[in-house]
Structure 1
Amino acid sequence: MAATPANPELRPPVNPNRPRRRGGTVEGRQRLRDGATGVLVHLVLVIVAVIVIYPLMWVVGSSFGPGGGLANATPIPENATFDNYLHLFTQTNYGRWYLNSLYVATLNMIGSVTLSALCGWVFARIRFRGRKASMLGILILQMFPSFLTAIAVYMLFLNFGLLDSLTGLALVSIAATLPYNTWLMKGYTDNLPASLDEAAAIDGASRLTIFRKIILPLMRPMLTFVAITSFTMPWMDFILPRLLLQSSGKQTVALGLFQMITDQYSNDFTTFAAGAVALALPITILYIVLQRHLVTGAMAGAEKG
């Protein structure tokens, strides 16, 4: 093979129309690797989506399926019917269970958002004696799940006459989620510039005014997240309602659906599937309504350059 001349002027001219081998350059190989990675990522996402979506489709299809068993249930039933939903709301106490769960979940959402926002702002902005000890205590409390204190909670409710009370159940749910939500709010508030508070204080605003008109609107993404999680937790909870609620008129949806398939005289699984679908509707609607508030970038334009 002839050696390439060292002088550039003596080298043969390069034909611009000469076809280039694909993958022969560094850029080509990088494109091939990126393409293979993209295909692999999409394949994994499709597999995960099928694993997640298929059981949901199966439950929804079962809720419209005829009969009471799930042996012949399919994601797309052949003879779809609304009889299971009619039976659910006319022959059972599902409507009462639904309203009870909605009351507890709404009260827990409002109380958790309000208290965690205030506590998080106080720990992030105000310096007071015992602040570090209080934060350490909250950190330790959130390490223990709420069911570990079930006996103590039961005795407290027995002494204060709060057993079989939906409001008492909501108070327990708020107390169980308050430590974790407080730390979330504190961490988010720490990232908000303190110059906003200082500028408002110079203009004569009080601390409560600063919190209500400046800090609270900027905390909207985290407030939305806490609202969704606080609504979901008691809506699906089973342990605390089972412990604290006794009468049939105070049962939540979780207790009612559990008894619907465990009672020796009732095993209507298609009606249970209909109840599960109806149970998921408020959470889905709440997420659709509040998801736009989860978008980050709430600080854009908050400070002047």
Structure 2
Amino acid sequence: MRGILSSTKFNRFFSRFLTYLFLIVLSIIIIYPLLITVQSAFNASDLTAFTLDLHMHWTLANFQQLFTQTLYLTWFKNTMIIAVSTMIIQVIIVTLAGYTYSRYRFKGRKNGLIFFLVIQMVPTMAALTAYFVLGLIINGLDQYWFLTMVYVGGGIPMNTWLMKGYFDTIPRDLDESARIDGAGHLRILWQINLPLAMPMIAVQALWAFMGPFGDYLLSAFLLRSPENMTVAVGLQQFIADPTNQRVAMFAAGSFLISIPIVILFFLLQRNFQSGLTAGGTKG
């Protein structure tokens, strides 16, 4: 009996040890690049490469040069407009589409879901030519609205599947009870299902908002004018020339990118919860 208990305690200890070891290694992998970026952003030296220097001199000159000598504020504004527009439009479409596929049965429903999966398998690189030709036809090249529509369209297929799966976890008994009380379709969606689906809606909003800040390929391909570039495309110019790399300014711009994302994360944090529907059908 003692041997069994000792073996159980050892297994628990070993399991916890491996868990904490994994978390520590993962934290180092995530935090180390962040420390280098933050340090490079405030480094007074003229950096030519990303390095971790514990004895550096701190300064705000890199941010001052970023604001006065480049179009960073314009790029940041452009990215914010695209990100907010993408977030609002995509969340509305994906939420309505996911709810429709989850709660209603109609002709073509199964084929529509399969079509979404097939579309999701097409890589972005394969669609660049199609985006370019479409932009030429509708005069959308170098336009915010066209890039926003491309982001929204690219995010609909898989996110609709995710939203549908989340709505499937919400008990249908709640809908039936509301119908007995005389609630219509919109009221059931607005007052019952949407509050319960807020965790997934919050995740969708954060993903949609983050996309334009981190995307380089589509932005560089569809936006041509320097004053219309996004932050990712503009910052890439700082390190594109091997003979004249402005690493400190690149790091400063990258640091500022994280601020709106972090703010949105904390605003949505209270919605990142699971189990909201637990016990929802109990009286």
Shorter chain as denominator, the TM-score bin is over 0.9
Quote the sequence identity (%): 37
Distance 2:238 2:59 in 1: 20
Structure 1 residue ranges without an equivalent (≥5): 1-22
- Report whether the alignment pairs 1:271 with 2:239: no
Alignment check: 8 A CA contact 1:104 1:235 kept: no
Distance 2:49 2:105 in 1: 62
Query: How many residues align structurally?
Result: 283
1:133-169 deviation line (CA, Å, top 9, x unaligned): 1111112111212332111111111111111111111
Q: Is the alpha carbon distance of 1:40 and 1:127 closer, same or farther for their aligned partners in structure 2, counting shifts above 3 Å?
A: closer
For 1:25, what is the secondary structure of its paired residue?
helix
Aligned positions of 1:84-99 closer than 5 A: 84-99=62-77
1:2-57 deviation line (CA, Å, top 9, x unaligned): xxxxxxxxxxxxxxxxxxxxx95321232133223322332232222222211210
Residue of 83, 91, 101 corresponding to 1:113: 91
Q: Is the alpha carbon distance of 1:137 and 1:54 closer, same or farther for their aligned partners in structure 2, counting shifts above 3 Å?
A: same
When normalised by structure 2's length, the TM-score is 0.94
1:180-207 deviation line (CA, Å, top 9, x unaligned): 1100111111111111111212222221
- Report whether the alignment pairs 1:281 with 2:259: yes
**Normalized per residue, which structure has more helix?**
2
For 2:17, what is the secondary structure of its paired residue?
helix
Structure 2 residue ranges without an equivalent (≥5): none
Select between 28-37 and 138-147 the one with higher mean Cα deviation. 28-37
Shift of 1:177: 0.5
Query: Which residue does the alignment assign to 2:142?
Result: 164
Shift of 1:73: 3.8
Query: Which residue does the alignment assign to 2:105?
Result: 127
Query: Which residue does the alignment assign to 2:155?
Result: 177
Query: Which residue does the alignment assign to 2:7?
Result: 29
Shift of 1:245: 0.7
Distance 1:212 1:129 in 2: 25
Distance 2:34 2:243 in 1: 27
Query: Which residue does the alignment assign to 2:33?
Result: 55
Shift of 1:179: 0.4
Aligned positions of 1:233-272 closer than 5 A: 233-263=211-241, 266-272=244-250
| AA in 2 matched with 1:275 | G
- Greater Rg, structure 1 or structure 2? 1
Query: Which residue does the alignment assign to 1:295?
Result: 273
Distance 1:77 1:213 in 2: 56
Shift of 1:214: 1.0
Select between 41-50 and 205-214 the one with higher mean Cα deviation. 41-50
When normalised by structure 1's length, the TM-score is 0.87
Select between 284-293 and 162-171 the one with higher mean Cα deviation. 284-293
